[in-house]
Structures are given as structure tokens and as C-alpha cells.
Chain A
Amino acid sequence: MSRIEWRLSSLALCAAIFVGASQCLGQDEKTSVDDLQAVRKFEQARAAVIQKVIGSVIAIYGDDREGGGSGVIIDPSGLALTNHHVIQAAGVEGWGGLADGKMYRWSVIGTDPGGDIALIQMQGRDAFPFAPLADSDQVRVGDWAMAMGNPFVLTEDETPTVTLGIVSGVNRFQEGAGSNQLVYGNCIQVDSSINPGNSGGPLFSMRGEVIGINGRGSFEERGRVNVGLGYAISSNQIKNFIPDLLATKIVEHGTLDAVFELRDNKVVCGSLVEQSAVNLAGLELGDRLVSFERQPIRTINQYLNLICTLPEGWMAELLIEKPDGAQKKIHVGLYGLPYNIEMPKVELPPEDGDKNPPPSPEQKRALERQKKMIAFMSTDPGTIRDAVLNAKYTNWLLQQWRASLEIDEVPAPRTIHLTDSILVADQPSGKQESWLATDGRFLIDWSAGDEQLRIGFDGASFWRQSGATTKQLTSVEAKTCPQIVQAMTMIAAHQSEPFAPFGARSLDGADKAQNQLACRLKFVDAKQDWFYCWISLFDQQGRPHVRPLKASSELHGEPRGATVTFSDWASCDGVFIAKTRAFVSGYDEQIKTQIRFESCDMQPGIDEALFKIPTD
């Protein structure tokens, strides 16, 4: 800019400021008191929400302190979310700055390269400020949305940057990079400013709930800065992956091994892997996909949006239509989409005497960090990476379970006396009377149709009395007896070691039970026999809510096992019981026998004699 131009533009600037200012002042004079109060009210409400959640936002740094991203704490224990691409750049552990100005250590628990989400653990505080995950299906275009994080690593005191905008679009699909990685399916598009460094940070609703994790934007050639199109991974997708992430897995996303295409405005199977699970289950080329996961499918994106949000192993439900018009319902477990993860290259400078000096301490530390990252990312996808960490989060889930059922830390010994009616095909067919002791012992009088049974557990062995004969049951016999599965699950949370007779526990990952998201706990005994218990993680409103949904010795409700579902948990004299239970079979949990609550009473203490094995 030449001198004269500069002089003139400065001059012009002064003039413009004057004009602008006088215009603004003019505007202000016309603004009424009511106007200002309305604005103030809105601003106060917004500021209050920001104050409520700001403590949960993390400025994430790697140990090398180069660059940075963002994250958000979702549980007081310090469980936090960020992007996979943030931990990929930052490493498996590092520092996280909170708005209190302090830095805390974080380490990674599990990651989802396909959906660009990582679960990390913040350490160093008893109770962290946190923000709950919203039900992102309720998000509408036009809703206000606040992004928080650390764009351009601006913050010096660790307080996050807040940017306000609106939801520009929902159910957006943005293809990934690399092989099956960083796919943003069913994501939320916003015009809140999202810039490099915002990655992994939360997108808040005006209720202060996390509706998504920001991680991506549309950019122009001019640079990687906001142009009004940012994308956040929806909180509902994240919820589907949290059980697997808690289980310390590198999670793969699910695929049907079939590709659909649009023909005559119908979504039709265009190619598929022969002999794949979905093919064996009945899907053939040319079949129309009518619905997926009970959602009607009209476009390819709709289908992609749904399947993108599901982890490997998820039992998906499809409704297909054959060319002749016949419809068929299919249940199929999703295969994992493999990743081809690029590992950082580790180059150790050769140490050969005087020519090359030994690596500096910084180089050594950088090497250690890279090695840790490689070790982390070398885990086979879908497997438990760290059994110790897994046990920690299994226990954390049990704690949540106990808290949800309002069970004291040291529960007083009690006996629940329960009377239920038994229904077969919705017709009353009998009665069940049971005594459930909080230490795990139980006794059941089962009378349905011609069947008269007495089943019990004395704390060491299971037994069953039918007619005059009493028989001790093996562990396999016990876990395939629906009455026993029912009784054990009802009182499981009252014991420090639930389902102890069925073996050692671990968190197996994400699954579906009663058609909702569940964490699947796995119990393996000495003979390598399995038992599973499905517990919920969030309620319909997306609030943490851990309750048993299902228990079975079989993964998919195969008829040889005993599968029991639990619902309508309610307090009875201060003890929560499932008022409706059902013996079911199959993927879609077809009810064979239903057990409905009639009455109950609580007896203090445990009468040991009651639970003893009857002797003839």
C-alpha cells in the first residue's frame, strides 16, 4: 500500500468509525427499555448455561505440548470424550487443562477411529465438573448450539472459547478419510465457529447438554478456518460406542457386507459378499431394504447414517422385500469394517560411537511416546486392550448400577418375599413365590400348569426339587434354568461380587437388549462357560441410568439357554425390583413366559434355614 493510500485509508477509517459510531448511537436511542431487558434476559440465561458447563470443557495437550485439541468430561469420575484424531496426534496420555486453571493428567481408555471418538480418563480429582450427553435425536435445525473448546490453542489460563450459532443441518453424512476412518455419519452441522483446536470439544444445547463432539468443518482453499460449516458427531452415536470404549477396545464400525443403491427411488441391494451373515440370513441381490433398525429407508444416506452409528457385533434388524413383494425380517450381527491404521514411524538414531551422539533426553522421551502410541494402536480391533482397566470400568458400572438402584454401600441383610403371577401367551397359568436374600441366597416356589418346582441356592450350591426328588445342579444346569437366572439378576447388585458362581466378570462391550443400547457384562467360569448380563447405560432421556435389561447364558438368546428380560424397575419397601420379567428366546426376544409382580414384603435379616437344601 502506498503512502498516500495509507494516509487516505486511515483518514477514511477515522471517518467511517465516526459514521459507524454515530449510527450505532442513533440505533441505541431507539432501543426501548423492554428491548434491552429481553436481550439481557436471554444473555443472562445463556451466561448461566455457560457457567454451568464451562468447567467440563478440557483443553487437551499431548506430553510434547505441541498443538492441542479439546474435550469434555461426561462423568464426575473424569470420563471424558475427545476426537480420535486428537489422541492420534497428542498420544495416549497427556495434560488436560480445565477452566479452574489447573492441568490434570489424562490417559486414553479406548478409541473409535471410524467415528473419530476417543474416551479418555482425567485424573487427579475426586469429582470433576461434567456435562451430560443429550438425546441428539431431539436436535432440530434452527436450535441454538454453543461450541466450546480451544481453537488455535488460544487459551492461556485454560478457560475455553465459546462460540454461538445454530444447528444448520441434522442427519448429515460426510465421508471419511483413509480406510473407513473418521466418517461423520448422522452428524450435526452447525454454523457456530469451529476452527482447528476445537477438535474433540463439545457442542452444547442451550440446556447445557452435550449434543455432539465437534471435529470437522468444510473449508475453502484459503485455509483451514471456519466458513460457517462445522460438523459434530452426534451424542447418540457416541453412546452406542461408549460400552466398547469403556471395555478398552479399539472399536470397529459395523457393516452388513452388502452395498445398497438407489434404483427407481428404491434402496436396493446392489452387491453383497456371498456367504456373508446377511446373505445366509436371506438377503439377496435386488432385494429392497424397507427398513433398518426399525427406521424406514428411502435414501442411501439414510441407511448409511444409521449403520455408521453402530459398532461391530451389533445385532441389526432389517426388513427386506423380495422382488415378488414378499417381506422378510432379518436379524444379523454386523461385521467390523477393518482399519488400515498408519503407524507413526519410529526412527532411533543409530548409536555408533563418536559419529552419532546418543539420543538426547527429549529424543528418548519422544521415542517412548511413539512406542506407547504404536503399542496402543497395535491392539487387535474389537479386543479388550487392557484387562486391568477393563476391570476398573466394570466395577465403575457396577457402582452405577448400585447407585441407580439406591443400594447402600454396605447393605443391611434383608430378604425380599415376592409373589408373582405367571403368564403364558398372556393367559394366567400359575404363581411364583420367591424369597431373595440380599447376600445372594434364594428360594423359589414355582407352580405353573402341571409343573411344581422348588428351586434354591444356599450360597454354595444350586438345587432343584421336582416332586419328591431333590437334585443338586451343576453350574451349567443352573445358568440354563430361567428361574435361577431371574432370581440371581434381581439381587445381583446387592452383592459385592454379583454372579460370582458364574465366574469372573468383564465388560464385553456394546449390545442391544430390549431394543435399546446396553453394556454387556460377561462372566467366565473355570470351565470357560459363559454367562452374560445386559445392563442399560442411559435412559430414554439420555441420562446415565444403569439397570439390568437381560441376562442369559447365550449371546443371541438361543433356545438351549435361559434368557430373561427385566423391566419396570420400581422400589418395593426401599428395594428396587423388576416388576415385569420374561423368559424369552431369539434375537428379537420373543416372550415365552411372563412373570408379573403381585405383591412383596421385606423381611429384615436372613433366615439361613429357609435356603438350606432340603434333605429327604
Chain B
Amino acid sequence: MTPTNLIDILPLFSRPAWATEPRGRVVPSRILGPSSASLGPSSEQFPLPAFGERVRVRGFRVFFDRLYSSFFAFAFLIVTVLAQPTSAHTSIARQDKLQSAISVDNWLEKSIEFSQKRMVKVFGAGAGRVNSYATGIIVSAEGHIVTMQGVFLDGDQVRVALPDGELVTASVLRRDRQYQLALLKIPNSTPNFFELSNEPVGEKGDWVVALSNAFMVAEREEPMSATLGIISLSTSIEARLNKDSLAYRGELVLIDAITSNPGAGGGAVVTSDGKLVGTIGKVINSSETNTRLNYAVPSKIIRRFVAGEPLDDTQKTVIANDQKPSLGLELFKLGGKTGPAYVDRILANGPAAAAGLKPDDLIVTFGGEKIGSIRDYERVLLTLAVGSEIIVIVKRGEELLRLPITPVAIK
């Protein structure tokens, strides 16, 4: 059934009289109904599925079917092609994982239990529609906690509910806009904390459990909510649909468990053996499709943040004042400025030649920007810093190529 049919059916629902706002909780759950017209009139409002599906081959097809009319396709394309090829893996390891996923010896339960002991509920100050709570992970025996960066940490007091329900006051050691993470410290020491791996944890297709206090469902010592998914992709997000809507840029792990929920930020994404893949990041929302990305900030990034290192920023947005950058290529300009950015000529010994670009390549993105036309290309080119390597993605025949290229100054 296509989304169009779906929307046709929805008006059949009637909104019963009981559908009033419940009292009480901060973000209450709602009674489902034979209800309601609020799904909206256009297919844009029907959310995309989470990235990927459990049965991969079919999943992709389903995914693209639903994706088709969406502008989000472009972001996905970029995310897809930027994907680092996953390292070779042994079939035996995968088989073990599969077996454990279906065996009676329930790894899910074990992994969840292991993680619950290493997670906290963080309470700060709320204002208006801003949530006053988040989730946190314990990352050291001395009581260091990593949670989501947010205005809720601005208040006088940040309190943390430990796994056993004890409520303690935490001090905010560091907050970082780039990482979108915050480092807290509680006076308690604990033997239970997550090891922060310097290597990528988990690979595409691995089962993961995401744990968080989304919607503040749990109180005090009540356990976090657990949702199951797989790693859809480990990638870096350079696509910028709208620069300001992305809370976080850099490496991330896309998962197909739904985690983009209030209060879930700072939650744990763990593998079947309880290893921390990463922490649930701040909500990344597409204002155009009203869809959200479900992702984790990888363990190694958290490690770098905790160590106080700056986040690698491959995005160079500084405009070199006196040097005009060049890629050493010329575009096919007969179609005018609105035409697609096809490469017409490669200058000998230029950056494009070094990068391996060829005539007739179609430039799809570079510098993290979508290139829809020659005009886009020229605009983005001006923002590049001479001497800093960027990634250019070109379409050659039926292939998409991801090539590093370093702009030089025009002599």
C-alpha cells in the first residue's frame, strides 16, 4: 500500500470525546484510538521509517520505495556514499552474532541488564517547551558522566538519579557545542562504567539495543526503556540540508531503533555483548520532511570529548581572503548556470587531475554541500580554504566516486 492510500484512509478515523490531554507527567503518553485526523494532509507528514530494515536486502527496497518522494533522499544519498567501507569481517563472528540473536540464551536481556547498571537519569532546569531531563552514561570509576549538551544544564543544579535510585547533585565539568555533549561529575565512585573504545564498535547489520529515559517513562531506580535495532550505517554526516537544523556534524552511527525522542539524548547504544557503540545524540530533525535521524555519537568521539581533545572538523568554512581557490577543472557551461555540473576539461597537474577526476564526471557534492547546478558549484568553490583537503563526490557512468581533493590558489 502506498502512502497515498494511507492518507486516504485516515480521515475515516473519528476523534472520540475522550481524546483530551492527560494531566500530570511532563511528556505524557497518549491513548491510541480509533482516532485521529492529526496525521495531516500531506505525505510529507507521514514519517519515513527508521533507517534500514532488519532484513537488509528487502529493507533497502522498502526503504527506497518510501523514500521516493522525499527530499531527504538527497541527504541519504550523501550519507550512503560517504560511508566508510566496512572492514573485512569473518563469517564466523557474524554467525555467532546471528546465533546469539535467536538463541534461547537471551543476550538481549543480559546486554540490557549490563547497561542499566551504567546509566543514569539527568535532571536539570526546564523552560517552556525545553525538556528538563536527559539520559546519561557513566564513563569512569570516579563518576564521570556523559550526557547530551543542552540548555537544561544551565540551571543552578543538575541532579542525577543513579541506577539504584539514589539522587545526587552533579557538577558540570564541560559542555561542548561541537560535540553536543556535556561531561558531568558526581561525588560517587562506582565499579560499573562503560569503557570508551578508541576503535569503531559494531558494524553494519549488527544488533544493537538503545537504552534511554525517553519521555521520562522511568522514575528513580526504574530501569531505562530498551529498544532493539541494527546498525544501519557508520558514517559521517556532512550533508547539510539546512545548516542550522543539524545539531551535530561528524562521525555517527545510524541505527534503525527509534531513538530521536525527548529525553533520550545521552542514552546508550550497546552491542549484543554490552559494548558501547555510542551515545544517543541530540535530535537531528529535517524541517522539510519532519523526520528525524536515529543515530549514536560513536564511542571514540565520546572518548575524545572526555579527554578534552577538539573535534576534528573537516568542514572548512573559512574563506581565504586573498586567495581564490581552484580545483583545476572546467565545467560544461553550455547549458547556462542552472545546468548540472558536468566536468568538461581537467587542467593538467591541477588538483582535479591529482584526485582522478575525468571529463564527463557529474559533480554531486563537494565540501559537504549538495551541488545542484553550476551556480552551486561556483558558490561553494568560493568558500573553500586553499590547501585543505575536502571530499568531492562525482557520478561517473553508473558509479558514484568519493574522491579527496585539495584546492589550490589561482595563480
- Give the distance to chain B from A323, nearest Cβ to Cβ, in Å: 23
Q: Given A89-B14, A169-B217, are A16 and B226 neighbors across the interface (CB < 8 Å)?
A: no
Q: A218 with B32: in contact, given A67-B14, A177-B18 (CB under 8 Å)?
A: no
Give the contacting residue for B17; candidates A15, A224, A344; CB below 8 A. Answer: A344
Which of B16, B73, B362 touches A16 (beta carbons < 8 Å)? B73
Is B28 interfacial (CB 8 A cutoff)? yes
Q: Is A610 an interface residue (CB 8 A)?
A: no
Q: How far is the CA of A222 from the CA of B80 in the complex (A)?
A: 26
Q: Does A387 contact B (CB under 8 A)?
A: no
* Chain B residues with CB under 8 A of A184: 29
B-contact 0/1 string along A193-237, CB 8 Å cutoff: 011111100000000000000111111101111111101000000
Question: Is B40 interfacial (CB-CB < 8 Å)?
Answer: yes
B33 touches A196 (CB 8 A): yes
- In the assembled complex, how far is the CB of residue B277 from the closest CB belonging to chain A, in whole angstroms? 17
The one of A18, A28, A176, A189 that contacts B225, using a Cβ cutoff of 8 Å: A189
Residue A12 is within 8 A (CB to CB) of chain B in the complex: yes
Is B387 on the interface with A (CB-CB < 8 A)?
no
Instruction: Bin the interface of chain A by size.
Output: 35 or more
In Å, the complex CA distance between A329 and B91 comes to 61
List of A residues within 8 angstroms of B226 by Cβ: 141-142, 166-169, 191
In the assembled complex, the CB of A106 is this many whole angstroms from the nearest CB of chain B, namely 14
Contact across chains for B91 and A35 when beta carbons are under 8 A apart: yes
Contact of B80 among A16, A171, A217, A225 (CB under 8 A): A16
A175 within 8 A of B: yes
Indicate if B321 sits at the interface (CB-CB under 8 A).
no
| Cβ of A342 under 8 Å from chain B | yes
Please tell me which stretch of A36-44, A278-286, A458-466 contacts chain B, meaning at least 4 of its Cβ atoms lie within 8 angstroms of it: A36-44
Query: Provided the pairs A154-B1, A168-B227, A177-B22 are in contact, do residues A67 and B35 lie with their beta carbons within 8 angstroms?
Result: yes
Partner of A24, one of B56, B106, B290: B56
Count residues of chain B with CB under 8 A from any CB of chain A: 94
Question: Do A4 and B225 have beta carbons less than 8 Å apart?
Answer: no
Kindly list the 9 A-B residue pairs having the minimum CB-CB distance in the complex, ordered from nearest. Answer: A228-B258, A67-B34, A142-B108, A191-B227, A42-B102, A142-B109, A218-B29, A89-B16, A175-B24
29 contacts between A and B (CB under 8 A): A8-B74, A12-B73, A12-B74, A16-B73, A16-B80, A19-B80, A20-B64, A42-B101, A67-B33, A86-B34, A89-B14, A152-B6, A152-B10, A153-B12, A154-B9, A167-B226, A169-B222, A174-B28, A191-B257, A197-B34, A216-B31, A218-B217, A220-B262, A222-B290, A224-B32, A224-B36, A228-B227, A229-B29, A229-B215
The A-contacting residues of B in range 162-180, CB under 8 angstroms, are: 165
Q: When each residue 1-43 of chain B gets 1 if its CB lies under 8 Å from chain A and 0 otherwise, what string results?
A: 1000010011011101110111111011111111110111000
> Max chain B CB contacts within 10 Å: which of A18, A69, A174?
A174
Within 8 Å of chain A (Cβ to Cβ): is B350? no
The minimal Cβ–Cβ distance linking B274 to chain A, given in whole angstroms, is: 12
Measured between alpha carbons, how far is A342 from B18 in the docked complex, in Å?
8
Chain B positions within 8 Å of A85 at CB level? 16, 18, 31, 33
Contact of B95 among A35, A165, A223 (CB under 8 A): A35
Please report which residues of chain B, range 32-81, place their CB below 8 angstroms from some CB of chain A when the two chains form the complex.
Answer: 32-36, 38-40, 45-47, 56-57, 60, 64, 67-68, 71, 73-74, 76-77, 80-81
The reply to whether B108 and A166 form a contact with Cβ atoms under 8 Å apart is yes
Q: Inside 8 A of B94's CB, which chain A residues have their CB? A: 30-32, 35
In the assembled complex, the Cα of A89 lies from the Cα of B398 at a distance in Å of 54
The reply on A486 being an interface residue by CB < 8 A is no
A181 at the interface (CB under 8 A from B): yes
* B129 nearest CB neighbor, chain A only: A221
Please indicate the chain B residues that have their CB under 8 angstroms from the CB of A228 in the complex: 214, 227, 257-259, 261
Assess A219 versus B109: contact at CB under 8 Å? Given A69-B34, A152-B9, A154-B9: no
Chain B 76-103: CB-based contact to A (< 8 A → 1; otherwise 0): 1100110000000101001100110110
Say whether B290 contacts A217, CB under 8 Å.
Answer: no
Which residues of B lie under 8 Å from residue A181 when comparing CB positions? 18
* Contact string against B for A residues 308-335, beta-carbon threshold 8 Å, 1 for contact and 0 otherwise: 0000000000000000000000000000
CB pair A19–B112 under 8 Å, yes or no, is no
Nearest to B165 among chain A residues (CB) is: A299
Q: Which residues of A contact B261 (CB under 8 A)?
A: 218, 220, 227-229
Contact A20 B217 (CB under 8 A): no
Supply 11 further A-B pairs (C-beta < 8 A) apart from A166-B226, A174-B217, A344-B17. A4-B372, A5-B71, A8-B372, A38-B95, A38-B102, A89-B33, A141-B223, A168-B225, A175-B22, A182-B22, A218-B29
- Let me know if B364 is at the binding interface, CB within 8 A: yes
A4-B338, A42-B102 are contacts. A140–B109 as well, Cβ < 8 Å?
yes
C-alpha gap A13/B77 in the complex (Å): 7
B378 in contact (CB, < 8 A): no
Chain B residues positioned under 8 Å from A11 (CB to CB): 362, 395
Which chain B residue lies CB-closest to A12?
B77
Q: Does A609 contact B (CB under 8 A)?
A: no
The residues in A between 143 and 160 inclusive whose CB is less than 8 angstroms from any CB of B are 143, 152-154
Return the CB mask of B247-273 against A: 1 if under 8 Å, else 0. 000000000011111100000000000
Q: Is A360 an interface residue (CB 8 A)?
A: no
A354 at the interface (CB under 8 A from B): no
Least Cβ–Cβ distance between B3 and chain A, in angstroms: 11
A5 to B73, CA, bound (A): 11
Which parts of A7-63 form the interface with B (CB within 8 Å)?
7-9, 11-13, 15-21, 24-25, 27-28, 30-32, 34-35, 38-39, 41-42
B195 at the interface (CB under 8 A from A): no
From B20, B80, B91, B217, A189 is in contact (CB under 8 Å) with B217
**Quick check: is A351 within 8 A (CB to CB) of the other chain?**
no
Contact of A508 with B by CB under 8 A: no
Chain A residue with Cβ nearest B36: A224
Query: Quick check: A219 and B398 within 8 Å, CB to CB?
Result: no
Chain A residues within 8 Å of B21, by CB: 177
Q: Contacts A169-B223, A224-B32 given; indicate if A229 touches B340 (C-beta within 8 A).
A: no
Whole-angstrom distance from the CB of A151 to the nearest CB of chain B?
9
Within 8 Å of chain B (Cβ to Cβ): is A1?
yes
Judged by a CB distance under 8 angstroms, whether B373 is at the interface is yes
How far apart are the CA atoms of A220 and B292 in the complex, in Å? 11
Closest chain-A Cβ to B164's Cβ sits at a distance in Å of 10
Whether A217 and B45, one on each chain, are in contact in the complex, defined by CB atoms closer than 8 angstroms, is no
Q: Is the CB of A141 within 8 A of B24?
A: no
CA distance A34 to B228 in the complex (A): 23
- With A19-B81, A152-B6, A175-B23 already in contact, the answer to whether A223 and B34 are too (CB < 8 A) is no
A244 at interface, CB cutoff 8 A: no
Q: Is B404 positioned at the interface, with any CB of A under 8 Å from its CB?
A: no
Q: Are B215 and A226 neighbours in the complex by a CB distance under 8 Å? A: no
Q: Closest B-chain residue to A164, C-beta based? A: B54
Tell me whether B30 and A218 are in contact (CB under 8 A): yes
User: For the complex, what is the distance from the CA of A181 to the CA of B31, rounded to whole Å?
Assistant: 11
Any chain A CB within 8 A of the CB of B221? yes
Question: Contact at B91–A219, with CB atoms within 8 Å?
Answer: no
